[in-house]
Amino acid sequence: MSATVPEAAPAASGDETPERRFPTAPLFLSAPAVLLFAALVLIPLFLTALLSFNQFDYATGRTGGFTLEHYLSVLTDEYYLEIFLRTFRISALATVICVVIGVPEAYILSRMSNPWRSIFLLVILAPLLVSVVVRAFGWSMLLGPEGPVNAALMAFGIGRMRLLYTEGTVIVALVHVMLPFMVIPVWTSLQKLDPAVEQAALSFGASRGTAIVRVVAPQILPGILSGSLIVFGLSASAFAIPGLLGGRRLKMVATVVYDQYLSDLNWPMGAAVAALLLIANLIVMLTYHRLVEGHYRRRLG
Amino acid sequence: MSFLELKNITKRYGPLTAVGDVSLSVEKGEFVSLLGPSGCGKTTTLQMIAGFVEPSAGTIRLDGRDITRAKANSRGLGIVFQSYALFPHMTVFDNVSFGLEMQRVPKGERKPRVEEALSLVHLSPYAKRYPRELSGGQRQRVALARALVIRPPVLLLDEPLSNLDAKLREAMQFELREIQRKVGTTTVMVTHDQAEAFSISDRVVVMEAGRITQIDQPYRIYEHPETEFISRFVGKTNLLPGKVTTATGAGATVSLAGIAVPVEAAGLSVGETVTLCIRPEKLHLTVPTNGLLTGRVADRFFLGSQWLYHIDGPLGTLMVVTPNDGSTPAEQGATVGLEWSPSVVRVHRGAMAEAPDVALEVTG
């Protein structure tokens, strides 16, 4: 932290001609955020990246030096590839389901009149007030072999099903946790929408459905886009949900990183997996952003 | 029978009556404006015609058909919204084409009709642009083309010019009227701007507190306002409280603070309290010995084509507007005489309402 302070100080106490002085106010104003970002994000990331190139031996532990061995083993090992594929498949499905549920939810919310709108907004946000771990345990009790869902299945004569430790359960729980992150950005972009635009569509003979598809949906696309990016990013790096509901068998990338760090004590390997997850996540998100945003930039600004 | 007919239309929101018992007949091809201050119910009335608000009582008939409860998307009306409400993600061409598409007009027929509508509003070169790449005036014209292209039986304009700057607004007023004449579409416009309503409408409907107070041709509303509210709201006016001293058939004499003023009004009785209403341009400045009363020029304002004087006299401060005919104007502080012909004085029965701020606020 102290490194950047002397950098700004001379400029402030500097010469007497204000018109030639380098503008220091923006630097000072952005400094707290920059410092926080550097301390909490950039430095740990940099250290993780360094760590991932360290050599490792099970007998002696981390030995320093430089190697690409961890990256190569992740990229060539079927086991890791399958986990990466599964992670992105689960995240993509959770995102799609969040769009399908969250967008209509936000639309209905925006059409509500005020006592109800505030109440339902609170209901949607309420899950965020409960720890993810608690919610994951809630799902595991609900879906467990002796849980109420299985009890109901038995009562209807369908028979007991193994619900825990399946992809479906992980997706359901992820959707539950991520839904507010889809509803809020979509709701925000709906707020910016001129209600007369939908009325205009109706006045020209469009049915309500056509008006929503042709006129409302394209305009809230930026909101859907940012919601999708948040949901996908958080799902792909989710730890508590797959850890508690996926169990030992259904691993996702974040749980593998955890295993490498704490079970195998292979820190460089864990760091390499984490770095690859970050890179893969960035590629997926940037591509998606390019595809959708680029298409609408000229129209909506 | 009239083309568009509102009969005893009422809209209540709980205990509040937004529109009360409004009846209006609009002939085919007519341009009618609903004029009134904000909150007078004019926009609600338009929204009931459009089908966005359902009336609590009354009927709306269009070409003989009862459309009171018909859905907005089945009425086929052309609407220009105050915010234009263009579809921002569609080009100008697609915006205009949208209504035709919804009416299932075949593709081959759509293109020439859109082009025709765009050339009507002089926007043909902008067909490929997006709304946000256009100026306010151009967006307004897209909204107009989009409403006209579906050949609606009635065109509804909701404060169509209020988002434009003064100069453009004036130009668009005349263009709007010209286009409306050319296509002959029955038009109902909502506005709070009396200059706008007067310059382009066949008839003006003045609304006040949810009710219609006068329906007439623009110049008749200006010259013969039926209520004191209208004379305040429409143009500038001098309101003078007085008492009738003599009444003889078609004429009468009203005493204004001791000054006897002849007026032309039948049916007044001696001793009655009245309010006289004289438009500033109907008052003439003259030499002090000649006028009905004398006063001192307290202030004068140069308005380009006109001079506006504030004359302090025995009746308080009067506004006088004289045309700038090139002659030397009266100096500030000078004593002048004021004269007018009895025929320009309008007489409203009853005392003056205590709301002088309306006259100050609306001096368009």
Q: Is residue A24 part of a domain?
A: no
Answer whether residue A89 shows pLDDT above 90.
yes
Q: Do B130 and A215 touch (CB under 8 A)?
A: no
The answer on B273 and B306 residing in a single domain is no
Query: Could you tell me if B61 and B137 lie in one domain?
Result: yes
> Across the interface, which of B85, B102, B146 has its CB nearest the CB of A196?
B85
Interface of A with B in 236-295 (CB under 8 A): none
pLDDT of residue B277: 87
pLDDT tens digits for range A236-266: 999 989 998 988 888 899 999 998 888 888 8
What mean pLDDT comes out for the span A15-21? 55
**B334 and B351, same domain (yes or no):** no
Distance between CA atoms of residues B100 and B119, nearest Å = 17
- The count of domains in chain B is 3
Please check whether residues B22 and B126 belong to one and the same domain. yes
For B246-276, the pLDDT digits (tens) are 888 778 888 887 788 888 877 788 888 888 8
When mean pLDDT is compared across A90-99, B182-191, B353-362, the lowest value belongs to: B353-362
Q: What pLDDT is stored for residue A300 in this prediction? A: 58
**Over the stretch B51-92, which tens digit does the pLDDT of each residue have?**
999 999 999 999 989 999 999 889 999 999 999 999 998 999
Is beta strand B65-66 parallel, antiparallel or unpaired with respect to B335-339? unpaired
**Domain membership of residue A286 as a residue range:** 69-296
Tell me the three state secondary structure of residue B275. Answer: strand
Does any domain span residue A172? Answer: yes
Q: Residue A152 sits in a domain of what CATH number?
A: 1.10.3720.10
Beta strands at B203-208 and B31-35: parallel, antiparallel or unpaired:
parallel
**Dist CA B62 CA B51 (whole Å):** 12
B17: domain CATH number? 3.40.50.300
Place of tokens 């404006």: B33
**Can you give the CATH number for the domain in which B303 is found?**
2.40.50.140
For residues B152 and B198, state if they share a domain.
yes
DSSP of B190-240: EES-HHHHHHH-SEEEEEETTEEEEEE-HHHHHHS-SSHHHHHHSS--EEE
Q: Are B4 and B75 in contact (CB under 8 A)?
A: no
Contact B74 A205 (CB under 8 A): yes
A103 is a domain residue: yes
Mention every residue, 6+ apart, whose C-beta is less than 8 A from residue B169. Answer: B161, B162, B196
Does B255 lie in the same domain as B139? no
| Model pLDDT, residue B356 | 45
Q: Nearest CA of chain A to the CA of B6: how many Å?
A: 19
Which residue of chain B is at minimal alpha-carbon distance from A295?
B89
Same domain, B178 and B325: no
Q: Which domain covers residue B267, as residue numbers?
A: 237-277+345-364
Interface of A with B in 14-43 (CB under 8 A): none
Given a cut of 70, is residue B363 above it in pLDDT? no
Domain presence at residue A213: yes
Answer yes or no: do B191 and B60 share one domain.
yes
Chain A residue numbers touching B79 (CB-CB < 8 A): 199-200, 203
3-state secondary structure string, A241-254?
Answer: HHHHHHCCCCCCHH
Element (H, E) at A63: strand A61-64
Regarding whether B246 and B207 lie in a shared domain, the answer is no
Give the E-state strand segments of chain B in sequence order: 4-13, 16-26, 31-35, 57-62, 65-66, 78-80, 154-158, 186-191, 203-208, 211-216, 238-248, 251-256, 259-263, 273-278, 284-286, 293-302, 306-313, 316-323, 335-339, 346-349
Asked, for residue A167, whether it belongs to a domain, the answer is: yes
* Shortest Cα–Cα distance, A188 to chain B (Å): 17
- Looking at B190, B209, B228, the residue that finishes a domain is B228
Quick one: closest CA in A to B152, which residue?
Answer: A204
Helices (H), chain A: 5-12, 25-37, 43-52, 69-76, 78-111, 114-125, 132-143, 148-155, 167-191, 195-203, 208-211, 217-219, 221-236, 240-241, 253-262, 267-300
Judge whether A4 lies within some domain. Answer: no
SS3 category, A277: helix
**CATH code for the domain of B256:** 2.30.30
CA pair distance A24, A8, nearest whole angstrom: 8
Structure confidence at residue A6 as a pLDDT band (50, 70, 90): very low
Does residue B245 share a domain with residue B224?
A: no
Structure confidence by residue, pLDDT tens digits, A181-213: 999 999 999 998 988 999 999 999 999 999 999
In terms of domains, do B19 and B145 share one?
A: yes
Which residue did the predictor score with more confidence, A63 or B160?
A: B160
Lowest mean pLDDT among A40-49, A157-166, B101-110, B210-219: A157-166
Q: Is the pLDDT of residue A15 over 50?
A: no
Q: Specify the number of domains making up chain A.
A: 1
B247 and B351: one domain?
Answer: yes
Which candidate from A204, A296, A301 shows the least CB-CB separation from B102? A204
Residue A62 within any structural domain of the chain = no
Chain B residues within an 8 Å CB radius of A194: 83, 85
**Looking at the domain assignment, is residue A113 inside a domain?**
yes
